[in-house]
Structure 1
Amino acid sequence: MPTPPPAYRSGPGEALDVDRDRYARLASRTADRQRVEQFTVPIRSGRAWEVPAGHLCRISTPEGPQVGDLNIWSRDDPRERMWASRTRQLQAAHVTVFDRLWSTLPFLRPLATVTADSLSWYGLDSEGGRVHDLLGSRCDPYVNRMLTGEDFDFCCHSNLTRAVLPYGLTEFDVHDVLNVFQCTGLNDDDRYFMKASPAGPGDYIEFFAEIDLLMALSTCPGGDLSVDLWGPEAGDPLEVCRPLSVEVLRPPQELLAGWRPPERAAYRGLHGIRRAEWPGTTE
């Protein structure tokens, strides 16, 4: 029996349509890119960095499977940040090539577009799992304390909190994440599950920055998630923790011909609020 169509959709050339030819060219022209920055995020840690508009950012698994928790903000106004729930509705619960990561209200525009994904072949597995998850969120010390009775300072929420401090941000700016390389789904009881990441050495996901971005990444303390973190089978996943690599890349400028950063949402109303009439004023 066919499933219902997606609730949010638009036609060719409209808001949700993507210039696939442009992003495919950006993904394929790798030989003449210029590397602007490259670094490694060690296990159980986090780091933040800037990506200028019109640049690419590649996150990869140099030593094998490892989950990363990604946050994204507008570099110029961190009140604008990735909106995971709306991205799930406008794109998918697990993103891949040509999907976009959308920002919060009142901005509502694509922050980044996925240009390349070495795990795009994975699709839907026999247990209902998919890769690059927007269903769940980051692990955090509050839930960990609730479930285990212990404090742990290197959950993804904490790693991201430390990472953004040099940029003047705090714990309150950390938000729901894109879990790169993480395989998740919903079980028969409609409950969230996580399973071992299928990434291998050198797998990657790559993003095109639609505006000037601040990004932050945590190397999840659960590693590749092949070890249960909570419950009766829980163990220490330290042995399956690996680093992640980040590159910021400038593409050939001719590939950007005709491209411009997206404008913020066009809505200019006042949510039904009207100017109060002061005594003595008239229409």
Structure 2
Amino acid sequence: MSARNILSEWTMQPGTGKAIELLAGQILRIEQVEGLQCVDFNCFNLHDYKEFMHCGRTRTVHGFNPSKGTFMWSAPPRERAMLYILEDTVGRNDVLFPRCSAYVYESAYGFDAHTNCHDIQAEAQREYGLTPDDVHDSFNLFMCTEVTLDGRATITRQASKPGDHVDLLALVDVLAIPNVCGADVMRTSNFGLKPIKLTVFEATAADLNGVPKTPILRSQRTPKDFRQPMIKADRALVRDPSYVAAFVNVPLVVEEVSVVLDDGEAAMLDALRLPVYGTDDGSALRDVLFTWWEQRFLGAAEAGAPAISAPAPHPGNG
């Protein structure tokens, strides 16, 4: 593989973050200097800040701990892959927990002044005219989290070492904002604060060829498709007296379909019937049909994940 050209380098000290214009085809490496340091990460479309990385959508597609070979997605209605995780030497990241904030440290620890991810992000983003309200839920790199059997999310200690890194490939022009997580009184960074190295590379042809294809669908909408494309300039919410509801796909079309079952099929339906449906044969059969459909055809899309195609084999990869 040919060497990547380094475009820029920085070292982030504890308490700081960095807003970086990362153009499509460039790679941001977020690298441990001393090890054991969590990094929070925000990301916006460089040309339209209303499109941003959405942890909820990413979590739905790739699970709680996105790692190498997965994408970071934007929120509906854009819903497109903004970044691709090209490399991840640790494989422990998190999209469950929100960023830490001044409120967390004051309410839980009694600190009325403490470094925190929200304030760091807000200051780094201010360089590009964004406000503290624009900071969004973070992609938490190197953060080890688990979900207990009773449904609680927990943080565990991490084991990242110097040189461990995550490489994020920009698929569109973005403003990428990593910051050194301020949680020195939590397990997040093993109760410490340490610097982080940032490097921007130009992606090679091999890097780009290794990215799986994601679908481009009619339902992925941009401001040109919006009935209200203008961003509000004022903060108060006031009803538009001229508003007339125009919901998409309304009125819904419902068509009754008659299904005749023979005795054997009826017996099979009774065997598969869930108690919640009682004697409602139509609802019971509908559940059986769509459960089979999910398992047979949808796979990961059962949770709303798009169909992602594997990249074509690269010459020389065997």
Bin the TM-score by the shorter chain: 0.7 to 0.9
Higher RCO (Cα < 8 Å, 6 or more apart)? 1
Report if the CA contact (8 A) 1:94-1:133 is conserved.
yes
* Distance in 2 between residues matched to 1:255 and 1:64, nearest whole Å: 26
What's the CA shift for 1:49? 0.8
Match of 2:175 among 214, 235, 239: 214
What's the CA shift for 1:262? 7.6
Partner of 2:194: 242
Partner of 2:246: 273
SS at match of 1:146: helix
| 2:96 is aligned with 1:135 | yes
| Structure 1 residues 256 and 218: CA distance shift in structure 2, 3 A | closer
Name the TM-score, length of structure 1 as normaliser: 0.72
SS at match of 2:126: helix
Deviations 1:147-196 (A, max 9, x none): 23432242000000010101011111100011100001112332121111
* Distance in 1 between residues matched to 2:188 and 2:69, nearest whole Å: 32
Partner of 1:200: 161
Question: Which amino acid in structure 1 is aligned with residue 121 of structure 2?
Answer: L
| 2:43 is aligned with 1:72 | yes
| 2:13 is aligned with 1:42 | yes
What's the CA shift for 1:217? 1.4
Report if the CA contact (8 A) 1:115-1:208 is conserved.
yes
| Structure 1 residues 193 and 264: CA distance shift in structure 2, 3 A | same
| 2:29 is aligned with 1:58 | yes
Question: Which amino acid in structure 1 is aligned with residue 165 of structure 2?
Answer: Y
User: Which structure's residues are more often helix, by fraction?
Assistant: 2
Deviations 1:246-269 (A, max 9, x none): 11100235764798x989762268
4+ residue segments displaced more than 4 Å: 253-259, 261-265, 268-272
What's the CA shift for 1:106? 2.0
- After superposition, residues 1-283 of structure 1 pair within 5 angstroms as 29=1, 31-120=2-91, 131-223=92-184, 225-226=186-187, 237=191, 240-253=192-205, 256=208, 266-267=218-219, 273=246
Report if the CA contact (8 A) 1:224-1:241 is conserved.
no
| Structure 1 residues 90 and 274: CA distance shift in structure 2, 3 A | closer
| Structure 1 residues 262 and 142: CA distance shift in structure 2, 3 A | same
Name the TM-score, length of structure 2 as normaliser: 0.65
Q: Matched residues, percent identical?
A: 27
Alignment RMSD, CA only? 2.9
What's the CA shift for 1:63? 1.2
Q: Which deviates further from its counterpart, 266-275 or 48-57?
A: 266-275
Question: Which amino acid in structure 1 is aligned with residue 160 of structure 2?
Answer: A
Deviations 1:85-116 (A, max 9, x none): 11100112101111100001221100101110
